[in-house]
Amino acid sequence: MFINGAPQSLPFHIDGCQHRRMSNQSGSAEELCCSPVLREPLSAEQSEALARMFKAVADPVRLRLLSLIASHVDGEACVCELVGAFELSQPTISHHLKVLRDTGLVTAERRGTWVYYRVSPEPLARLASALTPGELAPVPA
């Protein structure tokens, strides 16, 4: 096959997992080539942890809160700044933030009377890598 006039090999068009399976090459035990969901069956604990995180971000308000916090100046936002972005009461916003906190997707720090939220990169990366082929990060138990 040719792309832009240059010959391309078959692996150029498929991912590393498919290439290894087709060529009967096996990587080391530590080498992870597929998303955790595609690589091997998840344990009950892994699937429960991932399901909680997916459920947390499946709500449009929580997904938007996560986005607002992550894109805010310095990567953190005060709850007082988040409430104004929604036509919801402050207790409802606090409930959604608690769900995100309980799943580990955000952390909270009280400063005086205000609470500041920051996105936790590791749980977010686990969530993203769970269904992304080619990721190298395993999902911890």
Domain boundaries, the chain: 44-125
Prediction pTM value? 0.65
Where is 65: in which H helix or E strand?
A: helix 60-71
The band of 8, judged by pLDDT with boundaries at 50, 70 and 90, is: very low
Q: pLDDT tens for residues 60-102?
A: 999 999 999 999 988 899 988 899 899 999 899 999 999 999 9
Q: Which residues of 35-59 are buried (b: 16+ CB within 10 A; e: fewer)?
A: bbbeeeebeeebeebbeebeebbee
**Where is mean pLDDT largest: 22-26, 33-37, 68-72?**
68-72
Q: Is 119 exposed, middle or buried (0-12, 13-18, 19+ CB in 10 A)?
A: buried
**pLDDT above 90 coverage of the chain, percent:** 40
CATH of domain 44-125: 1.10.10.10
Terminal Cα-to-Cα distance of the chain (whole angstroms): 42
